[in-house]
Amino acid sequence: MDKQVLAEESSEQEELIQRLREANSSFLTCRLVDSSLVERESAIQTLEIGYFKYKELMGNLEGGRTFYNDLAKHLSRLRDECKHVVYQRRVEAGQLEV
């Protein structure tokens, strides 16, 4: 009795394995022939490249913004120092005239 059940299950498993192999073969053939799949993969690759370029540009923009903000701070400090030096020279010139 157990041997008969085991033989039947083994036969069913072999049949299922054969059906799976046929379905997989059909799927693989369909993938090779289907041009929409190639177009889809191409579109996904294009989108992925675009996304990475966008991320790169955003990073570069952030770096540029940081650079110019720091530069503006340094230039503002330099301008203030120049104004201070000019003011001191005017005071000295005024004292020399007197």
Low-confidence ranges of the chain (pLDDT < 70): none
84 located within any domain: yes
- Give the pLDDT score at 54: 98
How many Å apart are CA 22 and CA 56, to the nearest integer? 46
- Give the pLDDT score at 85: 97
Asked if 66 and 94 sit in the same domain, the reply is yes
- Give the pLDDT score at 58: 97
Domain that holds residue 27: 1-33
- Give the pLDDT score at 7: 85
- Name the token pair of 55: 């991320």
Asked if 71 and 92 sit in the same domain, the reply is yes
